[in-house]
Structure 1
Amino acid sequence: MTQVVEILQYRLKAGSGERFHTIMQEHSVPLHNQAGLVVLEYGLSLHASDAYYLMRLFDGVDEMEQVLHHFYHSSAWRAGPRAEIVALIEESHRVVLPYKNGTLPLVD
């Protein structure tokens, strides 16, 4: 089975980058960890103070969809950081890539 990496990119409301990062550090990522999700990396983008990314690792696309469904429907997420996180996001994009042998695909 090929593992996959999900990369989420967010364009945040103006001036909210630092607040979003604090919520991620103090609430969202710990909640991910408690739920057994693997967060590879997250943070503010180097190109803009209100651009953000989150990278997560899964054992496959089907597993990813099941785990995320369970996570986003949990009371811990819904009663936790969900409302504040969603309120700060203007736009989001998602890409899912294969993660073979512990690396992302490279162009030859």
Structure 2
Amino acid sequence: MTRLVEIRTYRLKPGVAEAFHHAVHTLAVPMLKSRNMDVVAYGHSDHEEATYYLVRSYASRAALEAEQDAFYGSSEWKNGPRAELVDRIETYMNTLVWLSEEGIASMRELNQP
């Protein structure tokens, strides 16, 4: 079976990498997981500290849109860590690819925070 994988990369503002990671790790990821979103991997890019990634998987494009609309539209997100994270991001980009369950499991195993 395959799943749709979203790879979101962030270019962070100078000097905020550790604070950004702390907020992602302690606030955003637990919040995403509490809504049963599949967080595959996240962390600092291997090539430079100012680049960060978040990888999530979904059953379909429709599932991605429904899950993200519900999450990003929630008061829990808007009144929670949103500003703390968004204020530290210079730019971001999303890429969607299909990947096997085995590929997702490997990505999850090899890129633990």
TM, length-normalised to structure 2: 0.87
Match in the other structure for 2:64: 64
Deviation for aligned residue 1:102: 3.2
> What does 1:63-82 correspond to in 2, within 5 Å?
63-82=63-82
Q: Distance in 2 between matches of 1:7 and 1:72?
A: 17
Helix, strand or coil for the counterpart of 1:3? Answer: strand
Helix, strand or coil for the counterpart of 2:18? Answer: helix
Deviation for aligned residue 1:2: 4.2
**Counterpart contact for 1:4–1:96, Cα < 8 Å:** yes
Q: Distance in 2 between matches of 1:46 and 1:76?
A: 31
Structure 2 alignment gaps of length 5 or more: 105-113
Match in the other structure for 1:43: 43
Match in the other structure for 1:102: 102
Aligned residue-pair number = 104
**Counterpart contact for 1:7–1:96, Cα < 8 Å:** yes
**Counterpart contact for 1:15–1:49, Cα < 8 Å:** no
| RMSD (CA atoms) | 1.3
Q: Distance in 1 between matches of 2:22 and 2:10?
A: 15
Q: Distance in 1 between matches of 2:48 and 2:101?
A: 31
When you count helix as a share of all residues, which structure comes out higher? 2
Q: Name the aligned partner's letter for residue 97 of structure 2.
A: L
Q: Name the aligned partner's letter for residue 11 of structure 2.
A: R
Deviation for aligned residue 1:49: 1.2
Match in the other structure for 1:54: 54
Q: Distance in 2 between matches of 1:26 and 1:42?
A: 12
Helix, strand or coil for the counterpart of 1:32? Answer: helix
Q: What per-residue deviation string (whole Å, max 9, x for no partner) do you get for residues 66-104 of structure 1? A: 110000001111111101111000010100000234327
**Counterpart contact for 1:13–1:50, Cα < 8 Å:** yes
Deviation for aligned residue 1:48: 1.1
Q: Distance in 1 between matches of 2:92 and 2:50?
A: 12
